[in-house]
Chain A
Amino acid sequence: MTKTILKFQNVSITYANGFRAVRKVSFAVRSSECLAIVGESGSGKTTLVKSALGILPKNTKVSGSIKINETEIVGAKEKTLRKIRGLFAGFVAQEPFSAFNPVFSVFDHIAEAWRVHKLQPKKSEIFDSLERSGIENAAENLKKFPFEWSGGMLQRAGIVAVAAHKPEIIIADEPTSALDADRADSILKALRKTDAAILLISHDINLVQRFADRIAVFKNGEIVEMSETESIFENPNHEYTKLLLSDNVHEKYATDKSNPKIILEAKKLSKFYSSNGNKIHAVKRADLTVQTGEIVGIYGASGSGKSTLLRMLATIELPSNGEIFMQNELATSFESNKLFFKEARKGFVMPIFQNPLSSLNKNWVIWRIITEPLEAKHRTEKLSKVEKLEIARKILAEVGLSEIDLNTKPAKLSVGQCQRVSIARALTANPKLIAADEPTSALDARSANIVMKLFSKIAEKGTAIIIVSHNEPLLKTYCHRLLQMHDGILENE
């Protein structure tokens, strides 16, 4: 009989502000099995993970029982929890660049897995583990800092650190959301090679189908269905499970472009950075034209230069070489640090960022965030608060958020709702071009589809949209044109 490594029994979790994030959840993870928990953003998955590791905020009430290897976690002292963390239970974070301390080398970070338990780090073991996970020249690369590694490489290094003491269970919270499909697969393969039991939190249904033995579907803090992976996909019982699976099916979404004009043209763009006297080419060559009402998708692996290209197209960064024309006027040129096209600072191009929560001012209420573009200095009309509230209400209705309280702050909204608020803010500026960098990577499948359909609606009205993403299937469904970024070069499909 297989051993139970992690057991949740009737666990309910209520935050200090009274919000009940998890309601009477019970499940067990057996040795060597992978249990995936899937669900929408804000359903309570991350709260569950944090409770298993005893890292919930102070004053959070946890009832029920959580056991790792027969050790009770609920109410355990910090001394007991420290003996569990790293040795019996490992954790892989979502965002590798946030999980690694930028002032320490990658080697120091991995070695910390030994040092915190007063053990000597084994250099040869670290080098071998990294080479086995596909990182070449491990000894040289380990001396570098995290920002010199790609996200995929860093995530693999994180797994080496986590697996240092061969923990019985590894808890991975969205370990692949920041990675493209190929890298995501290699990360999950690396995790499964460790032979530990895995509790995998993910909103990527496809990934979960390939790697999990069992799936628990999470909604509003409860498990609505739990079964073997094959059974969930072939014969889902709960309505919500059926909805989640149907959101994953991408049928071509037809949009119409009429009277197209060229809104943006980029010629021979490139961008390099200097580091320790070396030139790092983030973008080697990119030529691109975008028409009004067109949705252009750019996909590629992590580190291929997609985001750098988008930042140049949005005039957030200046190119090292090449020129950008907007509405047939020169906007940027490598010959000058100046921005020639003044309209680029009048809402001509508006950005949508990957992390919706950090792209909104957390201290502002929603209506103020959405109507901020109306305060631009080129707008001579001064609007009253009542007028701004009315505009905010209309725009929120356009993005499907008419039920939101205008005086709410972003922290009270889900990640998907925050992304729609970002889009609403962009629409207020009445842009000719929207530059979206991984706008759906932090979202579950439902929210991702809602956001992409919103982009299609916006494009129908004439706004051009450039979307950078590693989610090729999603881009194929919604984009008029798809381009690939490979090793700094933009290739036509």
Chain B
Amino acid sequence: MYSEFFKNKSALVGLTLGTLLLLFVVFVPIFSTHYPNEQKPSRKLLAPSVENLLGTDQFGRDVLVRTAVGGRRSLGATLIVIGLTLAVSILIGISIGLVGGIVDSFFSRIIDILLAVPTLVLALAIVGVLGVGFENLLIALVISFLAFYTRLVRSYALSIKQRPDVITARLAGISWTRIILTHIVPDIFRQMLIVATLDLGGIIISIAGLSFLGLGSQPPDAEWGAMLGEARFYFSNAPHLLFAPAVAILLSIVSANLIGNALRDVQELE
């Protein structure tokens, strides 16, 4: 599968974009002479120049270095949300899919209730209960995405349980633990990786959107959504403040979608 993946054009473009973004967020703050939270009131709202390649914001802070540092937070948070959601959903989904009966019915009804509420609305409600803050935002997003992922993992587990190779393993005396670790988890992980990769864009937007509303990162921390939220007040006289985080979000989503599409295409070929 992996050799076909690296031959796929979408994969190559997506990986290139993703790599460039990663290099940007990792190395720009290291090599820049500006600090992300360093305020210089005399240099506020300046257009892009040699000294400040993407200009300065309302507090005179360098937009380039804040975009890079913000990217660490945005992309890092996205990976944490997706990683936690995958881990928990695989654990719960496989358990209820294999146990079945009343346990499966009970958890399935809870999932149904959670799925009835739109993801962002659910995340808003959870942040409302837990309080504003970046960590609470991530918890809210994990819980919001968990229902869909768990439902998907459960249905994969149910179908893999009936597969002839799993039935054969069972009759041969292979333990359920071994069947789960060698047949079920690897297959489910392969499927869910594609789903997760295609969802990366949505998660980036969710984090940015909720931060834009002031529910995520709090000042002075840099984060793409929060930067967009602040920039909207200065759009008429400093439009450059919007472009940097917006383009960064756009490139992240494009990269994630291209990689996700390529994974799906390669899996279909198999």
A contact set with B: CB distance below 8 Å: 16, 57, 314-316, 344-347, 349-351, 353, 355, 358-363, 369, 372-373, 375-379, 411, 422, 425-426, 429
In the complex, chain B residues whose CB is within 8 Å of the CB of A353: 164, 168
In the complex, chain A residues whose CB is within 8 Å of the CB of B270: 362, 411
| Docked complex Cα distance between A361 and B170 (Å) | 14
Segment of B17-25, B173-181, B209-217 engaged in the interface with chain A: B173-181
Q: Are B169 and A372 in contact (CB under 8 A)?
A: yes
User: Known interface pairs A16-B269, A359-B164, A362-B270. Does A372 touch B174 (Cβ–Cβ under 8 Å)?
Assistant: yes
| Docked complex Cα distance between A429 and B167 (Å) | 14
Out of A16, A362, A375, name the residue touching B174 (CB < 8 Å).
Answer: A375
| Docked complex Cα distance between A355 and B164 (Å) | 9
Cβ of B198 to closest chain A Cβ, rounded Å: 19
Cβ of B169 to closest chain A Cβ, rounded Å: 6
Q: Are A350 and B163 in contact (CB under 8 A)?
A: no
Q: Are B171 and A345 in contact (CB under 8 A)?
A: yes
| Docked complex Cα distance between A57 and B267 (Å) | 12
6 pairs of A and B residues whose beta carbons are closest in the complex: A376-B173, A359-B164, A373-B172, A346-B173, A353-B164, A429-B172
Q: Are A350 and B168 in contact (CB under 8 A)?
A: yes
Q: Does B135 contact A (CB under 8 A)?
A: no
Cβ of B32 to closest chain A Cβ, rounded Å: 44
User: Known interface pairs A57-B269, A375-B178. Does A361 touch B165 (Cβ–Cβ under 8 Å)?
Assistant: yes
Q: Are B171 and A349 in contact (CB under 8 A)?
A: yes
In the complex, chain A residues whose CB is within 8 Å of the CB of B163: 358
Out of A315, A316, A363, A376, name the residue touching B172 (CB < 8 Å).
Answer: A376
Q: Are A377 and B174 in contact (CB under 8 A)?
A: yes
B contact set with A: CB distance below 8 Å: 163-165, 167-175, 178, 183, 186-187, 190, 269-270
A-B contact count (CB 8 A): 66
In the complex, chain B residues whose CB is within 8 Å of the CB of A350: 168, 171-172
In the complex, chain A residues whose CB is within 8 Å of the CB of B187: 363
In the complex, chain A residues whose CB is within 8 Å of the CB of B167: 316, 351
Q: Are A351 and B171 in contact (CB under 8 A)?
A: yes
In the complex, chain A residues whose CB is within 8 Å of the CB of B165: 358-361, 369
- 15 intermolecular pairs with C-beta atoms under 8 Å apart: A345-B173, A347-B171, A351-B168, A355-B164, A358-B163, A358-B164, A359-B165, A363-B190, A372-B174, A373-B169, A373-B172, A375-B178, A377-B174, A378-B173, A426-B168
| Docked complex Cα distance between A444 and B174 (Å) | 33
In the complex, chain B residues whose CB is within 8 Å of the CB of A361: 165, 183
Cβ of B172 to closest chain A Cβ, rounded Å: 4
Q: Can you add 12 more A-B contacts, CB < 8 Å, to A351-B164, A376-B173? A: A344-B171, A347-B172, A350-B171, A358-B164, A361-B165, A362-B270, A363-B190, A372-B169, A375-B178, A377-B174, A411-B270, A422-B168
Q: Which of A362, A369, A377, A411 has the most CB of B within 10 A?
A: A377
| Docked complex Cα distance between A378 and B171 (Å) | 12
| Docked complex Cα distance between A332 and B171 (Å) | 14
User: Known interface pairs A361-B183, A362-B270. Does A379 touch B173 (Cβ–Cβ under 8 Å)?
Assistant: yes
| Docked complex Cα distance between A376 and B170 (Å) | 9
Cβ of A440 to closest chain B Cβ, rounded Å: 16
In the complex, chain B residues whose CB is within 8 Å of the CB of A375: 174, 178
Cβ of B158 to closest chain A Cβ, rounded Å: 15
In the complex, chain A residues whose CB is within 8 Å of the CB of B178: 375, 377
| Docked complex Cα distance between A218 and B236 (Å) | 72
